[in-house]
Amino acid sequence: MKHKIVIKELLQKTVSAKTLLLVAFVLLFFLLFLALVDDVIMPWYTKHGEALAVPNVVAKPMEEAKDILEADGLEVVKAGEKYDSRLPFGYVLDQNPRAKRLVKKGRRIYLTMSIGEKEIEMPKLFDLSETNAVERIKSFGLRLGEIDYEYSREPSNVVIRQSIEPRTYVKLNTSVNLVVSLGEAIGDSKVPELAGLILKEAVRELKKAGLKAGKIRYKILDGFLPETIVQQSLPPGDVVSHGTPVDLVVTTVRQ
């Protein structure tokens, strides 16, 4: 009796394995058939019906692309528009069916047109603090340029000018320069600590203090990044007149 049960179980397992194998075979046959239809039968069918290869019109002006396609007996349909930094306004950004695809005459070719790089409206930066103005520039996808500092009747650390007027339309990553108020010129200026700063940072700190960079001398020193301040002509903490120049010694590399 036990032998009969074992044999029955083996037969059931064998039938299940055969069923799975049959299903896998049918699925594989179906996939091969689809590939055959797409790569062999359909190209043969379209070729038999006087098919032609779709011309490549990407990166061409829309009117020129339309003329090319219609000359081959194809119908042009504008599929839409997209922003694109690579192609200017009015150029073909994409086509469907793709270039070199075999189609019959009269087939619709869908073209997507570039409307150029996306532009944004320049934000107003006047009256913002320097920190807030810089953050706003970055949040709009713009780039911070140079920051200058001037004495004015406006409160200290407030933006008093920007290089691009508000509401002007500009491209993303456009550079914006700022002029920040130092407040009214009352009293003298204190010389800041500049040692260890990069030259660009040192010049900025001098401007913020109401001073300016004087003569710049370069010196080859190992162990320092290029353009690092290693010496200044006036010691930090000295009180001097507004606009006094501070000479700097800056590192450089061996040529």
Domains 51-117 and 194-255 share a fold: yes
pLDDT at 11 over 60: no
CATH class of domain segment(s) 194-255: alpha beta
pLDDT in tens, 83-109: 998 999 999 999 999 999 999 999 999
Domain ranges of the chain: 1-48, 51-117, 118-186, 194-255
Q: Of 52, 70, 120, 111, nearest to 87 (Cα)? A: 111
Q: Which pLDDT value is given to residue 24?
A: 64
What's the length of the chain?
255
Question: Which residues does residue 94 pair with via DSSP β-bridges, in sequence order?
Answer: 112
26: Cβ–Cβ under 8 A, 6 or more apart, which residues?
none
Question: Which residues does residue 91 pair with via DSSP β-bridges, in sequence order?
Answer: 61
Q: Which pLDDT value is given to residue 255?
A: 72
Burial state string for 17-45 with b = 16 or more CB within 10 A and e = fewer than 16: eeeeeeeeeeeeeeeeeeeeeeeeeeeee
pLDDT at 10 over 50: no
pLDDT in tens, 59-69: 999 999 999 99
Single pTM value for the model:
0.59
Residue of 38 and 251 predicted with greater confidence: 251
Q: What percent of the chain has pLDDT over 70?
A: 81
Task: Round to whole Å and give the CA distance between 233 and 102.
Answer: 76
Task: Round to whole Å and give the CA distance between 176 and 134.
Answer: 10
pLDDT at 6 over 50: no
Range 225-242 average pLDDT: 95
pLDDT at 201 over 50: yes
> What value, to the nearest 5°, has the Cα angle with vertex 114 and ends 110 and 115?
130
CATH architecture of 51-117: 2-Layer Sandwich (3.30)
Statement: 118-186 belongs to CATH 3.40.930.10 = no
What confidence tier does 254 reach under pLDDT thresholds 50, 70, 90?
Answer: confident
Q: At residue 50, what are phi and psi to the nearest 5 degrees?
A: 60, 55
Question: Which residues does residue 216 pair with via DSSP β-bridges, in sequence order?
Answer: 248
Task: Round to whole Å and give the CA distance between 11 and 4.
Answer: 11
